[in-house]
């Protein structure tokens, strides 16, 4: 299996590179130019990213699904150019729930599968992971991206349900030939959760450490941060993505102190500086 250098020695940064026209934060910015996307990847490496997470399909609330070929058209040229210009200088993860996209991305040079819903939306993804012996980030969702934040979001116990999800996905992957060391766990902040359910997950994140697998957390620029700020500061409007950095870093701090070892972020430079100090208190 591809090793992730310094895993467990410091908090690692997974920098987000959206290759979509409609992602909630930077959709469209790197969509039409492969060269611009690769330049951003290089910039994130300079800023301190340990992994670059490439996504060719938006999974924001209400987003529309695209077919596998369209997703591949967006991600493969970027993966290939990164590998051509940078070799193996940086780890690449492919943010997809489709087996064929994961297979082609891994063949082109990606190292990690970052899968919304684990194997729920395409169970052949486990076969691909077993074949390539690559790390897989299982990230939880309740419902589907298009509808996950609509209507009432109910859990009897949000942590217990996420724990059950992890257990079932791990068991299925093992049955397909994966090894336990391949699994990474992401509770899926903002994916079918209310604002306070997100807060509860971060507050109780250390409960997932009993699974003895690396924990990934991603709160960067998400809408619940704006809602929290609006609520706590009594604001008339929900702050936009550019005004959510500090709130995201606050949640990140709690998550890291509660066991997260990889942080997924759009704001690599700021998060790197923040974590460089926070990690001093964990040694």
The dihedral sign for the CA sequence 95, 56, 263, 9 = positive
- What does the alpha-carbon distance between residue 178 and residue 133 come to, in Å, rounded to a whole number? 7
Beta-strand relationship, 91-95 and 112-116:
parallel
Beta-strand relationship, 51-55 and 91-95:
parallel
Interior CA angle at 98 toward 61 and 157, to 5°? 50
Question: Which residues are known to be catalytic?
Answer: 222, 264
3: helix, strand or coil:
coil
Contact 137, 102 (CB under 8 A): no
Q: How many CA atoms lie within 13 A of 197 on its CB side?
A: 22
- Name, in order, each residue with C-beta under 8 angstroms of 62's C-beta and a sequence gap of 6 or more: 145, 146, 149, 150
Tell me the C-alpha to C-alpha distance, in Å, between residue 205 and each of 80, 171, 185, 190, 250.
36, 21, 11, 15, 14
Question: Which helix (H) or strand (E) segment is 104 a member of?
Answer: helix 99-108
Structure tokens at 192: 């079918």
Please name the residue that has the structure tokens 């999974």. Answer: 59
Q: Which of 144, 74, 70 is nearest to 108 (CA)?
A: 74
- What does the alpha-carbon distance between residue 193 and residue 188 come to, in Å, rounded to a whole number? 9
- What does the alpha-carbon distance between residue 198 and residue 77 come to, in Å, rounded to a whole number? 35
């Amino acid at each position: 299996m591809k090793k992730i250098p310094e895993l467990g020695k410091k908090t690692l940064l997974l920098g987000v590179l959206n290759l979509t026209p409609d992602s909630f934060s930077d959709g469209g910015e790197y969509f039409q130019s492969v060269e611009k996307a690769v330049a951003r990847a290089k910039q994130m490496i300079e800023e301190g990213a340990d992994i670059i997470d490439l996504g060719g399909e938006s999974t924001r609330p209400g987003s529309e699904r695209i077919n596998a070929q369209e997703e591949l058209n967006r991600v493969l040229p970027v993966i290939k150019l990164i590998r051509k210009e940078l070799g193996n200088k940086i780890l690449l993860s492919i943010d997809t729930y489709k087996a064929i996209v994961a297979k082609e991305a891994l063949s082109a040079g990606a190292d990690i599968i970052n899968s919304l819903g684990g194997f729920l939306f395409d169970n052949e993804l486990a076969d691909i992971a077993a074949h390539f012996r690559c790390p897989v980030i299982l990230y939880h969702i309740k419902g589907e991206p298009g509808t996950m934040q609509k209507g009432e979001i109910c859990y009897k116990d949000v942590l217990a349900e996420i724990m059950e999800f992890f257990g079932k996905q791990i068991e299925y992957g093992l049955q397909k030939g994966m090894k336990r060391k391949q699994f990474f766990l992401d509770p899926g902040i903002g994916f079918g959760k209310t604002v306070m359910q997100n807060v509860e997950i971060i507050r109780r994140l250390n409960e997932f450490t009993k699974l003895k697998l690396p924990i990934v957390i991603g709160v960067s620029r998400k809408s619940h941060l704006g809602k929290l700020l609006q609520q706590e500061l009594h604001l008339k409007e929900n702050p936009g993505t550019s005004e959510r950095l500090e709130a995201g870093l606050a949640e990140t701090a709690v998550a890291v102190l509660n066991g997260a070892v990889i942080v997924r972020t759009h704001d690599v430079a700021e998060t790197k500086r923040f974590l460089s100090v926070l990690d001093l208190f964990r040694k």
